[in-house]
A and B are shown apart, each in its own frame.
Chain A
Amino acid sequence: MKKKYLAMLLSAGMAASLWTGGVSAEEGADSGEAVTLEILSLKTEEGPQAAFQQMMDNYTAANPNVTFEIQSMSSDDLKTTLRARSASGDMPDIITWMKEVEPEFMVDLSGEEFLSNLNEDTVAGANAIYEDAIYAMPIDNGYIALYYNKDVLEANGLEAPTTLDELTACCETLEANGVTPFACSLSNLSVPYMSLIALFAETVYGPNANWSAERDAGEHSIVEDEGWKKAFDILTDVVYKYCDPDTAYNQSYEDCAALIANGDVAFYGNGSWALSGIRDVNPDANIGLMAFPISGNPEDAKMLCFPDTSMSICADSENIDAAKDFLAYMTSEEAGTIWSENVKVSSAVNGVSVDYDPIAADIDSYLTSGQFTPYGDRVLRSVFTDKLWETFSYYMLGESDWESLATELDTYWDKAVEEEAAAE
């Protein structure tokens, strides 16, 4: 409570000094005036929370005038929160980037020197949806793919599948041996949703990187697209079919991580963020990572790899310079190493190569052979992905047929295009 008052007094004081035209807030950051940077993060796992804490502590140790206040919440909550706060003119200083935040609320980081510390392609990829502006500063490279427990496969006399038929055969054998093949949560639908994203990235954007542009131009439709149908079908006929639906309704995201870590299941589709949770349960689990097999050809399986966690500065922050300075620190090798080690991901910072996990080798093999695709839900418009998120389970759970689901998705794709055009 006391702290809060202090912060209020300080910000009131700062506002007053701005008003009288005296010291500007910009100078304040450098001249040692106390600054509190508020960060809102969508990283709720323990690993990233610890990494943020370490980075903030190190930064405060070097810059005693800067302190931090960080709050972590689910991406759904962050979306709602940012929306409410942007409207009331009460945005935090720094946020983990979300595509739902309109560009006008973020600072364009183009031309900032510290961006050169980051992998160029990663920065460009993170800002692919913007024209000539950099609102998102990526700090790591993520993926969504299929985790598999090597020990479970071995115990059942199986090898890691490379084709779709091998995958289903694997699942059949496992089921026959009384092992649930897939971990899946149906109470937290983000779990199967992640598998869907990886699947359509492989089936739609893998063969045709320009699919979205061609769809906008009216050359395709989802309802007639085999790739989209295939993604939904694999989700239904493999991921959902081979999970245990009764327990899946009582299981959370954390439970799924525990299932694969403890070898209760063989497969689990999710993103890079799930790894730290798996390692928390069992640091020595013998886990591998592969792209979802989607056909009889192993080379069709391209891993979805993309710039993941990104940082943005809010446009109406009163401490933009201090925030930029902290972001610059986040691009240092020290910070990159902290992040990579705790979060168990590959860093976007040049020169940081942390042996964060044995599965890194699996990812590298996809990257070096060029067998990856960078296009997931991140490059799609949010009006469309909101609808996708709302309705995808209808098909999976047999509530809707392909025709009507895909037609609805098409409608919302067009709606998104239309609304974008209307806004311009």
Chain B
Amino acid sequence: MKKRKTILLAAIVWLLALIFASPLLLVLINSFKTKGEIMTSAISLPSSLYLGNFVQIMTESNFLSSFFCSVFVVAVTTSLTVLVAAVTGYALARWNSRLCRILILVIMSTLFVPFQVYMVALIVVVRNLHLVNNIIGLILVYLALGMPVPIFLCRSYCVGMSREIEESAIIDGASRGKMVFAIVLPLMKPILATVAVLNALWVWGEFLVAFLVYGNGKPMTLPLSQRYFFGTYTNQWNLILANFLISSIPIILFYIIMQKHIIKGIAAGAIKG
């Protein structure tokens, strides 16, 4: 009886998993077809392993430059976010002042005022700073928009950390700066890893901010290049889907390697954030 129930349960779960995977399976099979084959049927298996789409993408699209552009933006944004969130979270946890209370209030309110609400004015600000279509501008905006939850996570982590080590370091004559960077930050490693992974995932796939702040910058980030590609090859689903396939591989690999941190981070972010 119990065994039968478990099998039934497993069957349901696997069926759901198949349904969830089917859009990606469709991408997979159709990226090995020619345009004509997709037109005839989008649900049949490819008649042969046609690789022309991938060849054309590699030669015609700017996939590689966009890939490296995205890697660059993610690397810089995430490192800066981790750094800023760590020191800000630490200071907020240790310094009891009016300024901190105000800052906490501001950060709280960012959670209730989504970027989309003030995006028009934000672009005006970015323009006035002459940072439109500028990769530094994009990174700064990502940094600002991505900070709130990491700061909260770091702050609550620091609140739970004992002060003894810090105090003894000060007594030993270490400067405050050295104490934070050499002792406190390494202690925060677990939460920083979580923050970094989540931030990287968000920046990697983000489209609207990039489109508005950096829409015509070159080289494009991956989501921008995917949109550009879609606009250029309208209707050539064989190429478009093949492009999605190869640009999804890195992020899926990233997930598989980092899944522990991702899962942990989402749960922590939801409960504390």
Contact = CB atoms under 8 A, between A and B. Distances in A.
**Any A–B CB pair closer than 8 Å:** yes
Interface of A: 1, 4, 44, 73-74, 77, 80-81, 84-85, 87-90, 252-255
A252 B231 contact: no
B130 A4 contact: no
B61 interface: no
B72 to A, nearest CB: 11
Given A85-B132, A85-B133, A80 B215 contact: yes
A305 B124 CA distance: 39
B132 A84 contact: yes
Contacts of B235: 252, 254-255
Contact of B127 (A1, A73, A77, A87): A87
B132 A87 contact: yes
Contacts of B133: 84-85, 88, 90
A74 B231 CA distance: 8
Nearest to B219: A1
Interface in B213-238: 215-216, 218-219, 231-232, 234-235
Contacts of B130: 88-89
Given A89-B130, A90-B132, A84 B123 contact: yes
A interface SS class: helix
A189 to B, nearest CB: 15
B247 interface: no
Interface in B125-159: 127, 130-133
A84 B215 contact: yes
A88 B132 contact: yes
B155 to A, nearest CB: 36
B231 A1 contact: no
Contacts of B65: 1
A36 B196 CA distance: 40
A84 B218 CA distance: 15
B127 A252 contact: no
Nearest to B127: A87
B215 A73 contact: no
Given A84-B215, A85-B216, A77 B132 contact: no
Interface residues of B, number: 17
Interface centre among A74, A89, A90, A253 (most CB of B within 10 A): A90
Contacts, number: 38
19 contacts: A1-B219, A4-B218, A44-B231, A44-B232, A73-B231, A74-B231, A77-B231, A84-B123, A84-B132, A84-B215, A85-B216, A87-B124, A87-B132, A88-B132, A89-B130, A90-B132, A90-B133, A253-B234, A254-B234
Given A88-B132, A90-B133, A81 B231 contact: no
B62 to A, nearest CB: 11
Interface string B57-68: 000000001000
A147 to B, nearest CB: 19
Contacts of A80: 215
Interface in B170-207: none
Contacts of B219: 1
Contacts of A74: 231
Given A85-B132, A88-B133, 18 more contacts: A4-B218, A74-B231, A80-B215, A84-B123, A84-B127, A84-B132, A84-B216, A85-B133, A85-B216, A87-B132, A88-B130, A90-B132, A90-B133, A252-B234, A252-B235, A254-B234, A254-B235, A255-B235
B127 A88 contact: yes
A81 B212 CA distance: 9
B73 to A, nearest CB: 15
Nearest to A72: B232
Contacts of B131: 88
B140 to A, nearest CB: 14
Interface in B235-258: 235
A109 to B, nearest CB: 25
A310 B140 CA distance: 38
Given A1-B65, A88-B127, A254-B234, A81 B132 contact: no
Contacts of B215: 80-81, 84
A87 B65 CA distance: 27
Contacts of B218: 4
B138 to A, nearest CB: 13
B216 A81 contact: yes
B265 to A, nearest CB: 33
Interface string B81-114: 0000000000000000000000000000000000
Contacts of A84: 123, 127, 132-133, 212, 215-216
Nearest to A84: B132
A223 B231 CA distance: 37
Nearest to B214: A84
A69 to B, nearest CB: 9
A73 B218 CA distance: 15
Interface centre among B131, B216, B219 (most CB of A within 10 A): B216
A1 B219 CA distance: 8
Nearest to B217: A90
Contacts of B127: 84, 87-88
A88 B131 CA distance: 7
A241 to B, nearest CB: 26
A253 B215 CA distance: 24
A85 B131 CA distance: 10
